[in-house]
Amino acid sequence: MQDVGTINALYNHWMLGKAIKRERPPRWSIVCDILRWVELFSEVEHLKAN
């Protein structure tokens, strides 16, 4: 049997469009946090658009 809190959280997320509250920080990523490739690509795309 599933926990009622889990069912309520899923209902709120999928049916009501509410964000799920995260109890822990987001996971880290080598690409984003170490190499900063995501920031670099967003800067390049911004320069191409102008």
- Left if phi > 0, otherwise alpha if psi is -120 to 50, otherwise beta: which for 21? beta
State the pLDDT confidence band at 2, using cuts at 50, 70 and 90.
Answer: low
Length of the chain, in residues:
50
**pLDDT score at 11:** 92
What is d(CA 23, CA 46) in angstroms, rounded to the nearest whole number? 33
Model pTM score: 0.38
**pLDDT score at 12:** 92
**pLDDT score at 16:** 93
Q: What are 8-45's pLDDT values in tens digits?
A: 888 999 999 998 777 878 788 888 788 877 777 777 77
